[in-house]
Structure 1
Amino acid sequence: MTPTVRPTETLLAHGLGGSEYLPVPLTAVLIGGAWALTISFAVIAFAWRTPRYGQADAGRELPSWVTALVDNSWVRGVISVAALVLTLWLVLAAFGPDTDENPLPGAFYVLLWVGMTVLSALIGPVWRLLSPIRTVLRVVGAVLGPRVVGWKAYPRRLGWWPAAFGLFAFVWLELASPEPGSVAAVRLWLLSYVVITLVGGFVCGLRWTDNADPFAVYSTVASRLAPFAKNADGRVIVRSPMNSLTTLPVLPGTVTVLAILLGSTAFDSFSAIPLWQEFVDERADGSQMVTTLLSTAGLLVFIGVVVVTFWSAARAVGGVSPDLRRRLPGLMAHSLIPIVIGYILAHYLQSLVEQGQEALLALGDPLGRGWNLLWLSDAHPVYIMSDHPTFTVTLKVLFVVGGHMMGVAAAHDASLRLLPRRHQLTGQLTMMVTMVCYTFLGLYLLFGG
């Protein structure tokens, strides 16, 4: 079967964009999204007077065989080894030709970055099992002992800051570097990641991979939307994601991690707007260095705006002690997770569905030598979301608005738990306004450009 020809000029980097595919005018979408958030806040504020979530062990235990399957060392070992083999296979691609057919950039940007997010949001922090470096460290630690792996405690004051720097390095490579799709650029980034993660893992053990590995922290953040978890007894339970959200670790760097994820995705949309592209082109005048500097500055501005607005909104409440006010941004940070994941899905899900197929099929011939592993080269991707543009953009709107509504509910419940009674409603107003602005701006950047 001959695949459908799709000129790259007709598709944006991360899927369909523009308001022409919306079932209603863009203005109606923007106003409707803002009103949906406002009305939902009003209903929640008056109908939801006591905290309902924040219980780590809340949920229903699944049958014991589910826990036995999840904890089975053979099952976990097979999955970890399969992930390690796939990683080694991609190492071949890292030394293959620097062409569009090389599977490394697609596997890196789409299968890893977006695919891991979706899996984590569905079933839990999968990177703990899939990470090839963690697998190597566990094997070495089991054979050689703590004298070789984990001979020093991970400093708590570092928190998630190393992961925040790693996440920024990733989004900078994708959105601001001179050649993000270059195999050489991806290879250099991955080599740096492997060296840093391995050295840190040998020094601080698996604690380093839990807190400093950017992909592990990203997976942990997304997993707070998963309906599955484990209780204190180690049993697998199913529960409301609203209860899972409150288990987000509050560590140094937590707010910055979420701001990087949200701000970078927003900048990705903004960077596709012709006005920004014209601004960069006029000032760069063909200079790659100037283009990179301007893109880096734009990326930092978007991340900084998220940090400042969320930090300010979380602290803008009366009747609390200075210590609680200082801790409020971290204690409220989990309310950003649905917004972050909703916007990421709206922006990148189409890439996962369509470009993900291309990346998988390209794995059949990583060196460009005409191989046909598992007959992958005989298959062709199906561009199902591009073939149904109205459904696709409607789904994107639902992801953005739904994520923000869930974020409002999480912030409201947290306020009921954290704030004094007479400030529980007024203390949420600045956060509510901030989330309405996030919704309006997110929808505009996604479709208005």
Structure 2
Amino acid sequence: MNRLPALILAVSLSLVPQTLLAHSFGEPYKLPMPYWMYIYGALAALILSFLVLACFYQSEPQATPWRKVIQLPRWLRHRAVTLALKLSLLMLFVLAVTTGLVGNQDSYRNFNMTFFWIVFALGGCYLSALIGDWYRYLSPWRTLSDGINILAKGFNQGRLRYPRRLAYWPALVLYMTFISLELFGETRPFSLSIILLAYTLINLLAVWLVGAQAWFRYGEFFAVMFRLTAMMSPLTFSRRPEDQSRRIHIVLRAPFSGLIDQRVEHPSLLVFLLFMLSSTAFDGLRETSLWFGLFWKDPLNILTPLIGEPPIYAYVWLRPWYLFYEFITLLLSPLIYLGLFVGFLWLGKLLTRSAIPLGQLAMQFGYSLLPIALVYHITHYYTLLLSQGIKIRALASDPFAWGWNLFGNAITGRIPILPDMGAVWNSQVWLILLGHIASVYLAHVEALRRFPSARQAALSQLPMLMLMVIFTAAGLWILAQPLQG
């Protein structure tokens, strides 16, 4: 066997985490100071915030978090506006599927890849964090099922009662499938269209079986993910009970206040939100040289005795096994985070000698991890919105990549639009820090509600502070790795 080509390929790939920057970083960036100094500074701020809360915030908040109803112009509150938005988003999905099926298969020039992966999946998530659960009203799959229900009365009612034991497990399975396709699927425009068609059929079949209300609450994973993200938004949508017109009102509230005094309703939902955190962390980890070397350099000498040579020399035939190894790690990642979370809760329970069952504590404190999941997601992916997502207007001029120029701003190739790397890194550090401080605050408020004294509440949060310190250090370390080359 000629090892030279495989060795050259393997060595080249082993350098990738050192020379290419993750998630649309386009050029190496030298940190102005060692990354461990950023970590120490962030940890100091985190510990200081905990001490301030423990010393000066010792009673359960009695007042309802600040809220203010925003009165929108009458024309914006009209049902016709909502209907127009619903149909517009649905038509964009129809266009995305069509362009993938018959358009140019260049992933950067076809409309559907940028629209779905970046504008919808990423931008839609961040939009939920800004303005609330917009997806509840504009979901293209809900719009489609409602349209079918007009033609076939009773379609949305379902044929079976949704099994309570299923809870959010279907959404979790679909979410894991989505992330697996994103990381390992190597999707192109055509395959993405097939995936979207298959997902549409799954949704319609599920609605026909169990009804729209149950499915879009428990099973459709975008609805679950965007709803969880929207709980942290400074805006929320509501309908006043006294308003007979059932018009939607917008309520302005304190950021993250939607998570206060909320309880995770089922273990499946807890695993779902932990997967929001762990999948993003895994995506960053797998781009580091440490992760690459753990398999291919075999530092623990596990693979070398089995195959008779270092794994790096057998890159070609070991590559599928490496992908399988990554896939299994991705699926197990929320369980690893669950073990850490429950373990540190158990330490807090031990310190306070609390009689509250561990499972109940996990449900009560689960939402305190959502801010971390959100900032991890933003710091890892928001540059994609700046580098590729911003091109969606130009791609709309030539959605099939056939050389059209409908709006006079079509592009003919991949044009990188990159942000300043220093600004990106600094924003990532601040976002990671703010997200973890928000989680410390939410956990502290929850502890004050669940424990009989401020002292017990503070003691219970010492292990949780350790967990936040670990998450902060790990998050910053993963972000800094591509910047060290």
**TM-based fold match above 0.5:** yes
Which of 433, 443, 452 pairs up with 1:411? 443
Which of 367, 375, 378 pairs up with 1:345? 378
CA distance in 2, matches of 1:128, 1:231: 11
Which of 475, 481, 484 pairs up with 1:442? 475
Tell me the alpha carbon deviations over residues 149-183 of structure 1, each in whole angstroms, 9 at most, x when there is no partner: 434333333222211111111111122x2x42433
Amino acid across the alignment from 1:38: I
Structure 2 equivalent of residue 3 of structure 1: none
Structure 2 equivalent of residue 239 of structure 1: 253
Structure 2 equivalent of residue 35 of structure 1: 44
Structure 2 equivalent of residue 139 of structure 1: 147
> Residues 19 and 26 of structure 1 are in contact (CA less than 8 Å); yes or no, is this contact kept in structure 2?
no
TM-score by length of 1: 0.88
The structure with more radius of gyration? 2
Amino acid across the alignment from 1:225: M
Q: CA offset at residue 376 of structure 1?
A: 3.7
Q: CA offset at residue 71 of structure 1?
A: 4.6
CA distance in 2, matches of 1:215, 1:394: 30
Which of 396, 406, 417 pairs up with 1:373? 406
Indicate yes or no: 2:229 matched with 1:222.
Answer: yes
CA distance in 1, matches of 2:88, 2:458: 50
> Residues 137 and 149 of structure 1 are in contact (CA less than 8 Å); yes or no, is this contact kept in structure 2?
no
Indicate yes or no: 2:202 matched with 1:172.
Answer: no
Structure 2 equivalent of residue 5 of structure 1: none
Structure 2 equivalent of residue 191 of structure 1: 197
Indicate yes or no: 2:115 matched with 1:97.
Answer: no
Indicate yes or no: 2:83 matched with 1:77.
Answer: yes
Which of 38, 54, 57 pairs up with 1:45? 54
Superposed, 1:244-283 pairs within 5 Å as 244-246=258-260, 247=262, 250-280=265-295, 282=311
> Residues 156 and 207 of structure 2 are in contact (CA less than 8 Å); yes or no, is this contact kept in structure 1?
no
Amino acid across the alignment from 1:226: S
Quick one: structure 1 residues 92 and 13, their matched pair in 2 at CA, closer, same or farther if it must change by over 3 Å? farther
Structure 1 equivalent of residue 11 of structure 2: none
- Report the aligned-residue RMSD: 2.7
CA distance in 2, matches of 1:38, 1:274: 30
Structure 2 equivalent of residue 160 of structure 1: 168
Tell me the alpha carbon deviations over residues 166-213 of structure 1, each in whole angstroms, 9 at most, x when there is no partner: 1111111122x2x42433443343233212111111222232012211
CA distance in 2, matches of 1:415, 1:36: 21
Tell me the alpha carbon deviations over residues 98-138 of structure 1, each in whole angstroms, 9 at most, x when there is no partner: 32322322222211221011100000112223321100112
> Residues 19 and 25 of structure 1 are in contact (CA less than 8 Å); yes or no, is this contact kept in structure 2?
no
CA distance in 2, matches of 1:445, 1:153: 44
Q: Please list every run of 5 or more consecutive structure 2 residues that lacks an aligned counterpart in the other structure.
A: 1-17, 242-248, 297-310
CA distance in 2, matches of 1:18, 1:445: 17
> Residues 96 and 116 of structure 2 are in contact (CA less than 8 Å); yes or no, is this contact kept in structure 1?
no
Tell me the alpha carbon deviations over residues 208-237 of structure 1, each in whole angstroms, 9 at most, x when there is no partner: 012211111110111011111245736432
Quick one: structure 1 residues 145 and 356, their matched pair in 2 at CA, closer, same or farther if it must change by over 3 Å? same
> Residues 70 and 250 of structure 2 are in contact (CA less than 8 Å); yes or no, is this contact kept in structure 1?
yes
Amino acid across the alignment from 1:163: A
CA distance in 2, matches of 1:249, 1:360: 39
Structure 1 equivalent of residue 321 of structure 2: 290
> Residues 397 and 408 of structure 2 are in contact (CA less than 8 Å); yes or no, is this contact kept in structure 1?
yes
CA distance in 2, matches of 1:243, 1:190: 34
> Residues 46 and 436 of structure 2 are in contact (CA less than 8 Å); yes or no, is this contact kept in structure 1?
yes
Amino acid across the alignment from 2:234: P
CA distance in 1, matches of 2:295, 2:33: 32
Tell me the alpha carbon deviations over residues 382-425 of structure 1, each in whole angstroms, 9 at most, x when there is no partner: 866x3421111100111111101111101100111122325211
SS in 2 for 1:14: coil
CA distance in 1, matches of 2:133, 2:238: 15
Tell me the alpha carbon deviations over residues 71-100 of structure 1, each in whole angstroms, 9 at most, x when there is no partner: 531111010010011011101122133323
Indicate yes or no: 2:428 matched with 1:396.
Answer: yes
Structure 2 equivalent of residue 87 of structure 1: 93
Amino acid across the alignment from 1:401: L
Structure 2 equivalent of residue 201 of structure 1: 207
TM-score by length of 2: 0.82
SS in 2 for 1:157: coil
